[in-house]
DNA sequence: CCAGACGTTGTT
DNA sequence: GTCTGG
DNA sequence: CCAGACGTTGTT
DNA sequence: GTCTGG
């Protein structure tokens, strides 16, 4: 599901909205097209350093492979996403959910929408902040991480799609766990019981209203222009009568 | 019991 | 390291 | 090579 | 009986 994200807001606004500054020496680079499969650097707030914005690699390396993180990621183990319902059972994640939770900072993400089994169009999903698409809420998405030699390796939590995202992501019916602003700090508290965490997974999704619109498939070509998130015409199936 | 997995879903 | 599957 | 299957998944 | 998967 959530394999593409964007974060392009001004540095100042990001820091303001999450009440934290970028850690010293981290240079913020906006991006409209962050591709999970490439294990890119993303911006996170981690439980063990919760007062600053850190960098992490998108792709968790479990604790039984700490001797060779690069080798693990090259095996395409698909640890970019973690199913929230299974966090305490999944072998690669169960140790990390306990006290290695984080936020992933995006201001939007992409989901594929299927017009038919073969025809698909990506949709950009975001929460407007104000009237224009150019100001989007800074999303705090639930994640977990492993830390190896001072480097964070991160997995994004997904849950069953709500009604809105079932319409958009109509094949897999999953969505990222975008934490509600009023609850998000709880995700970063130490030593929370399993019941508390699973409650956040089940009920912590934001109550703010999402917007989504179709975008150009230039997205899949790696385009990183502002136009990547701009609305295009929805796909129209060919009509016999046009 | 030992070998092999360990993860989730993409797309033109 | 620990679990699952054959 | 042997064991086991022998089938497919609507709609946008 | 024949094919696939391990």
Rounded distance in angstroms from the CA atom of residue A118 to the C1' atom of nucleotide D11: 13
Is the pLDDT at A78 greater than 90? The verdict is no
Confidence band of A164 (pLDDT split at 50, 70, 90): very high
CA distance A5 to A197: 24
Tell me the C-alpha distance between A31 and A223, whole Å: 10
Residues A58-76: what's their mean pLDDT? Answer: 88
Q: Please, what is the average pLDDT of chain A?
A: 90
Separation of alpha carbons A47 and A49, rounded Å: 6
Helix or strand holding residue A196 (H, E): helix A194-203
State whether the beta carbon of A117 lies below 7 angstroms from any atom of strand D. yes
pLDDT at A91: 86
Residues near A11 by Cβ (< 8 Å), separated by ≥ 6? Answer: A22, A28
Judged against a pLDDT cut of 90, whether residue A124 lies above it is answered with yes
Residues contacting A226, CB < 8 A, separation 6+: A8, A32
Q: Is the CB of A234 less than 7 A from some atom of nucleic acid strand D?
A: no
Residue A11, by phi and psi: left (phi above 0), alpha (psi -120 to 50) or beta? alpha
pLDDT tens-digit map of A171-223: 778 899 999 999 999 999 999 999 999 999 999 999 999 999 999 988 888 88
pLDDT for residue A3: 85
Nucleotides of B under 7 A from a protein CB: 5-12
> Regarding the domain delimited by A4-229, which CATH topology (the fold level of the hierarchy) does it fall under?
hypothetical protein yedk fold (3.90.1680)
């Amino acid at each position: 599901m959530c394999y593409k994200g964007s974060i392009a807001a001004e540095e100042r606004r990001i820091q303001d909205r999450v009440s934290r500054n970028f850690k010293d020496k981290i240079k913020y680079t906006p991006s409209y097209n962050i591709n999970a499969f490439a294990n890119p650097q993303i911006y996170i707030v981690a439980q063990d350093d919760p007062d600053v914005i850190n960098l992490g690699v998108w792709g968790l390396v479990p604790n039984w492979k700490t001797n060779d993180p690069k080798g693990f990621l090259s095996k395409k183990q698909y640890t970019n996403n973690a199913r929230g319902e299974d966090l305490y059972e999944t072998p690669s994640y169960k140790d990390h959910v306990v006290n290695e939770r984080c936020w992933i900072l995006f201001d939007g993400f992409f989901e594929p929408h299927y017009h038919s089994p073969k025809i698909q169009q990506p949709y950009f999903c975001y929460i407007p902040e104000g009237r224009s698409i150019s100001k989007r809420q800074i999303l705090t998405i639930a994640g977990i991480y492993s830390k190896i030699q001072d480097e964070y390796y991160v997995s994004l939590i997904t849950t069953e799609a709500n009604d809105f995202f079932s319409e958009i992501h109509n094949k897999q019916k999953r969505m990222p766990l975008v934490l509600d602003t009023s609850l998000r700090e709880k995700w970063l508290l130490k030593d929370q019981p399993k019941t508390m965490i699973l409650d956040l997974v089940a009920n912590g999704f934001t109550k703010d209203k999402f917007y989504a619109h179709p975008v150009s498939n230039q997205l899949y070509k790696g385009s990183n222009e502002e136009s990547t998130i701009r609305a295009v015409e929805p796909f129209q199936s060919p009509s016999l009568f046009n």
